[in-house]
Structure 1
Amino acid sequence: MFKTVLTLFRGGIAVAEEQLEDRTALVILDQQMRDAAAAVDRSKRTLALAIAQDQQEGRRLEATNARIADLEVRTTAALDGGREDLAREAAQQIAGLEADRDAAMTARTLFAQEITRLKRHVSNAEARLTELDRGRRIARASEAVRNLRRGGIEAARPYESTLPEAENTLKRLRERQMEAQAADEALIELDAASGPLATAEKLAEQGFGPRIKSTADDVLARLNAKRTQTTT
């Protein structure tokens, strides 16, 4: 018995969790999409920073190459002028600049790889986010339609009446009204057939007392009497 109760309790918790997830699914999805959009924005900022640093390295590389070219010209002139001491000093500067140039070129290669990766990641994330947004709009519309159906007049609350119940009530009411009308008519007929008025009519028909209701003969006699009075 205890095992059965425990199983029912666990089953109730599972059902409650599922119902809670169903009710809050859109809320959870909205927050998840906000988190995803924030992550995409961070990736965009990282991409922008990488591009800016790559451009900075590019400018540094251009400046370094220009200085190297200028010093090479001057070093060659020093050698031609017999100033090997100045040429050696300039050569040392050129060697240092070439090291900076190689480092800048390596950095630009790394930045180019990272920029390519980030662009691919951002593009893919934005496409997925757009698709999620479409799905969210469809899910929100479907949920709104389901709520309308759930709250519509076909799906009344337990304490509310439904259309079929109202129709059945009207049908019963009409049947009772028809029964009451038929009973009233039957009573009228019974009163007419057995009441004092009916007895008086029977007596009049037998010649005992004046007629209660006029007949065709009575109408014709009255009209002929009027004619006679008019002609005289």
Structure 2
Amino acid sequence: MGFLSKLLTALRGATNEAGQKAVDANAMRILDQELRDAEVSNGKAKDQLASIMAKKKLAEQKLDGLQADYERRMGQVRAALDKGDEDLARDVANAVKQIEEQGQTEQEVIATYDRTIEDLRGAIRDNDRTIEQLRREVDTVKANEALVKAQSAASVSHGGANSSLGNAADSLQRIKQRQAETRAKIEASRDLAQQGGDLDERLAKAGITDQSSSTDDILALAKSGEPKKLGSS
């Protein structure tokens, strides 16, 4: 069980490492996508803001209409009272009360819209600022990454050039070595030949030379009747 546990732990570690390498390899692409997603979300927030502002405008128009109805009904109440028709004035006053209640509701709706609009505007403003800042940082990171890649490529090329120069130097050294060995062999051959010539001179000076048949020797041999075999002494 201990071995299996260690094996599973190692596999999980390898998987996490591979996953992290994949994330690192696509970091810029992932970051760009995250920024695009943030911009899309912020765009939706702006659409929502526009929708709420439109609803607020409609609510304000409705409130303006209720205000006009309120003023008209209040005029009717006063007119009924002026004529001494208190019952009619009371009925109109009930209508005025309903208008007031509707107006209060619309005012609360408008106040809610105002708070929502203020919150959305603040969030959108902050998001725009953050996205703009991140975009600048991403551009900087991309520029740095391009610089690092260029420097890395130059380093690899320089290393390859150094390797090629090193190989050329090694080849040149081997050629020089072979030439030196050849010269040494030639000089050794000359030394041996010179030593051989010096030995012949020394033998000649000492009166030691190759044996050759003189004329008298040939005549003596002819008289003896024993022919000499060539090459024998």
The one-letter amino acid of 1:78's match is A
| CA RMSD of superposed structures (Å) | 3.2
Alignment of 1:1-232 (within 5 A): 6=8, 8-152=10-154, 154=156, 162-176=160-174
CA distance in 1, matches of 2:54, 2:122: 18
| Deviations 1:80-109, CA, capped at 9 Å, x for gaps | 112223322321221111111111111111
Amino acid at match of 1:27: R
CA-CA distance at 1:138 after TM superposition: 2.0
Q: Deviations over 1:208-229 (max 9, x none)?
A: xxxxxxxxxxxxxxxxxxxxxx
Cα distance in 1 for residues equivalent to 2:28 and 2:175: 53
Unaligned runs of 5+ in 2: 189-233
| CA shift for structure 1 position 5 | 5.2
For residue 120 of structure 1, report the CA deviation from its aligned partner: 1.0
Normalization by structure 2: what TM-score? 0.68
Structure 1 gaps of 5+ residues are 191-232
Larger Rg: 2
Percent of aligned pairs with the same residue? 24
Moved more, 72-81 or 99-108: 72-81
TM-score, normalised to structure 1, is 0.68
Alpha-carbon spacing, 1:21–1:72, altered in 2? closer, same or farther (3 Å): same
How many residues get paired?
A: 191
Per the TM alignment, residue 185 of structure 1 is displaced from its structure 2 partner at its CA by: 8.4
| Counterpart contact for 1:149–1:155, Cα < 8 Å | no
State whether residues 50 and 115 of structure 1, in contact with CA within 8 Å, keep that contact through their aligned partners in structure 2.
Answer: yes
| Cα distance in 2 for residues equivalent to 1:5 and 1:26 | 33
- In structure 2, the CA distance between the partners of 1:178 and 1:66, relative to structure 1 (3 Å rule), is same
Deviation per residue, 1:142-163 (Å, 9 max, x gap) = 232333334445268xxxx712
Cα pair distance change 1:20/1:41, threshold 3 Å: same
Distance in 1 (CA, whole Å) between partners of 2:76 and 2:11 is 90
